[in-house]
Structure 1
Amino acid sequence: MNSWNFVGIIAWIIVIALLIFVVFNIRNRHLKILVGQKKKITWTTILTDLLEIVVIILAVIGLLYNSLFTKVDLTDKSEVAVSYKYDPMIVQTTDDGQGYYVKINKKESSSATDVYQYWLNNSTYTVSSKNATVSDATLPFTVSGLHLDWPMKKIKKMDSKYQFAYVITVQAKYKNNFINGLGLKANRYAMEYRVLRVPARSFINVER
């Protein structure tokens, strides 16, 4: 485990210790009033109890939110490190001799997502449209729903080098810092996305 994530572990230990302390503190305070002083519980005591409970609840919610419910900002260079990898795709042919780079398997697809299949170094790769998109080189380069600073100069070089038939693999990794460590996310992958670059739509084989 990355050492920065011990920040989050220590935070959880502190919160759990505080929870135990609050439970015993409330119990002892009530016993002291009821048994030791032979008095009734007052609103002041109840408000003190509620304040301690609220503090614990807020601490737990804060840790859970930071760990599980925060959305990664891919443009925030202080939060994540984004890397790009470029791999040329291998052309395949249909029974009638038509060449293609990407196959969309409608048998495995659902109404909401497609399943893409492509080939790199004679190996077959399958990816869901939730984590990938097909980019037609006859159109301007756009990737909807993913806010990233795309390295267009590098992409244009790869377009020329691989003749518009390659895969861009984008990986975002949480950096080693206090906030990411508090959320137990330091040095872990936040996201992986692939752009399947094809020369034209005719190089996509839709199999039904």
Structure 2
Amino acid sequence: MNGWNFIGILAWIIVIALLFIVVFNIRNRHLKILVEHKKKITWKTICLDIVEILVVIAAVIGMLYMSLFSRVDLNNKQDIAVTYKYDPMIVQTRSDGQGYYVKIDKSNPNKGTNVYQYWINNSTYTVSSREATISDATLPFNVSGVHLNWPMKKIKQMDSKYQHAYVITAEARYKNNFVNGLGLRAGRFASEYRVIRVPERSFINVSR
């Protein structure tokens, strides 16, 4: 386990210990009032109980949010590190002799979601259109809906090197810092997105 994540483990231990302390404290306070002083529990005591319980609830909610529900901001350079990988695709041939680099399967019953299939190093890869997009090199480079700073200078170099037929894989990981450690995610995988670059639309094979 990444050492930074021990911050989160320690924080959870403190929260759990706080829960037991609050329960023990409320119980003792009530027993002292009822048994030792033989008095009734007042609103002041109840208000103090509520404050302590709210503190514990806030601590638990805060840790749950940090650990499970916080969203990934790919443009947050303080917490996220993004690396880019470039893999050349292998051309395939249809029955009519036309070559293509990527196949789009539109038979998915889930409307609005297609499956992209392409080939790298004699291996077949499939990816949902929710996690990838196809980029036609005859048009300006544009990836809508994904907030990433794409390295255009490097992409232009790869366009020339691979003749506009390659896959850009952007992988985001959580950096090693206090905030990510508190959320138990330091060094872990955050998200991945792929851009399938093709010379032009004619190199796409659509299957229905």
For normalisation by structure 2, the TM-score amounts to: 0.97
1:28-67 CA-to-partner distances (Å, cap 9, x unmatched) read 1111111111111111101110100110111111111111
1:76 aligned residue = 76
1:109: Cα distance to partner? 5.6
1:112: Cα distance to partner? 2.7
Query: Letter of the aligned partner of 1:44 in structure 2?
Result: K
Secondary structure, aligned partner of 2:73: coil
The correspondence of residues 153-192 of structure 1 with structure 2, limited to 5 A, is 153-192=153-192
List structure 1 segments (4+ residues) > 3 angstroms apart after TM superposition. Answer: none
RMSD: 1.0
Query: Letter of the aligned partner of 1:143 in structure 2?
Result: V
Distance 1:184 1:66 in 2: 8
For normalisation by structure 1, the TM-score amounts to: 0.97
1:119-156 CA-to-partner distances (Å, cap 9, x unmatched) read 00110001111111111111111111111111101101
Structure 1: stretches of 5+ with no match in the other structure = none
1:20 aligned residue = 20
2:60 aligned residue = 60
Contact 1:109 1:115 in 2 (8 A): no
1:93-140 CA-to-partner distances (Å, cap 9, x unmatched) read 111111111111123462031111000011000111111111111111
1:105 equivalenced with 2:117 (yes/no): no
2:39 aligned residue = 39
Aligned residues: 208
Contact 1:117 1:124 in 2 (8 A): yes
Query: Letter of the aligned partner of 1:204 in structure 2?
Result: I
1:117 aligned residue = 117
Secondary structure, aligned partner of 2:90: coil
Secondary structure, aligned partner of 1:51: helix
2:204 aligned residue = 204
Q: Which moved more, 1:129-138 or 1:71-80?
A: 71-80
Distance 2:42 2:139 in 1: 72
Structure 2: stretches of 5+ with no match in the other structure = none
Aligned sequence identity (%): 74
